[in-house]
Structure 1
Amino acid sequence: MAIVPLPRRPFDPSDASGAVTRDVPGDDACDAVRQWYENELGWATVPGTPVHLLTGLRFDVLDVPVEAGVAALRHLGPVPGPGSPVALRGGRMLLLVAAGGAEELPGLLAWLDWGGLDLDLTAVGTGGHMAAPAPPGGAERLGGACGEAGSQGAAAWLRPPEPGCEVEPSLPSMSALGGGGGAPDLVRVVDTVATHCHRVRLRRASTGPSESQPLAFS
């Protein structure tokens, strides 16, 4: 799936989704976080606080248990990063994939013989959103904490996006199937994540919930 670059300034998501991004008055810290995402990355945000990022335009999200996500990233090695952002929120890991990946997920799982199993693996795409982690360095450097930032279970970047760098070419995509381009193969990423989601559920079913593995990878 080809990714068409969108303009960085100004960025108007209403052209693609009908949503309108606007500043939220009365919360300077959230305004600063919102502006960081919109101006530095060109990502659309959802009106309101705390700040949420609109999915389906620049990226989609795979939402997996953190234990399965850690194991999958270890297995994948340099894929899907380090250029592919990864976030944590509570006991979940959020892996950014190319826009359109959420729509591909059900078909991919069925094709990979994972269809019909309860993997605790979901995707968020067009019309959805994810909580915006504090920008690298913390929301405090932008003038204070915004919404849930700093609270237990708040969204946080494990592999943050880099301002000034195009994120889309590094995201797992269907267009990478067969080795073309520089993006990781979405099929491999989904199969690996699904495998570890299944292993986690089997382990928890037989032994009960276990503590998440330490995030010992780069």
Structure 2
Amino acid sequence: MDILFDTPIFGGRSLGVRGRAHAGRCRAVAEYTLHPGWTATLAGAELPAASSPAQIADLWLRHPGAEVRLRTGGGFDVLDVPEQPGLQALVRLERMGHRPGPVLAAAGRALFLVAPHTAETLPDLLYRTGWDDAALDLRCHGVGGSVPAPPTALTRWLRPPTPESAARPPEARLLLGTLAYACHRGVAGLVGRR
């Protein structure tokens, strides 16, 4: 693990357990930059496409504890719901045979990566599916937004990206009804049943 992409990390010196963990984190972040349309930032600096783990390790050494974020609006937008309804919707979608694409859990929220431009069309999608006047804790991150990504603290992949799902995230209309229903049930459960 001290050698990634056929080059020694950190000048070839032995890394030890903590160093190998750091190298694994660097490799994970480098993989984000390999997906077309995906833009990752570390300590506010945009990582160039096809960044090497060594480049990321160098940036992390200059900014220890930096948060990794994925920019939205390019290769994907993100539907953001509370974690518990998001988990329920994820199970339901998989039972129905839908592939939800990459899904993150971060700070009590479930983040579903969907096709770009969803943020622009979300009000219309909610209207067409009959959820426009419901009290939903459902947000969408589009152009100019970002979401945390592993290995940032309290962030993990519920469904990690594959080359296929990263290149073609699902259309929001395929997930929206199930997500809205799960969010609505979550709000009703908090308020009390009628």
When you count strand as a share of all residues, which structure comes out higher? 2
Q: CA deviation at 1:35?
A: 2.3
CA contact (8 A) 1:98 1:168 kept: no
TM-score when scaled to structure 1? Answer: 0.60
Q: Distance in 1 between matches of 2:42 and 2:106?
A: 20
- Unpaired stretches in structure 2, ≥5 consecutive residues: 1-21, 44-65
Three-state SS of the structure 2 residue aligned to 1:197 is helix
1:31 and 1:103, CA in 2 relative to 1: closer, same or farther beyond 3 A?
same
Q: Distance in 2 between matches of 1:50 and 1:32?
A: 15
Alignment deviations for residues 93-122 of structure 1 (CA, whole Å, 9 cap, x no partner): 011101111211111112222113220000
Q: Map residues 97-112 of structure 1 onto 2, 5 A cutoff.
A: 97-112=114-129
- Unpaired stretches in structure 1, ≥5 consecutive residues: 1-27, 135-147, 174-185, 208-218
Q: Does structure 1 residue 63 correspond to structure 2 residue 80?
A: yes
Aligned residues: 146
Q: Distance in 1 between matches of 2:144 and 2:102?
A: 20
When you count helix as a share of all residues, which structure comes out higher? 2
Say which of 101, 105, 115 aligns to 2:132: 115
Partner residue, 1:37: 32
Code of the residue aligned with 1:172 in structure 2: it is: P
Larger Rg: 2
CA contact (8 A) 1:102 1:123 kept: yes
RMSD over aligned CA atoms reads: 2.1
Q: Distance in 1 between matches of 2:170 and 2:30?
A: 26
Partner residue, 1:168: 167
Q: Distance in 2 between matches of 1:33 and 1:72?
A: 27
| % identical equivalent positions | 36
Q: Distance in 2 between matches of 1:93 and 1:158?
A: 8
Show structure 1 runs of 4+ deviating over 4 A: 28-33
Q: Map residues 119-158 of structure 1 onto 2, 5 A cutoff.
A: 119-134=136-151, 148-149=152-153, 154-158=154-158
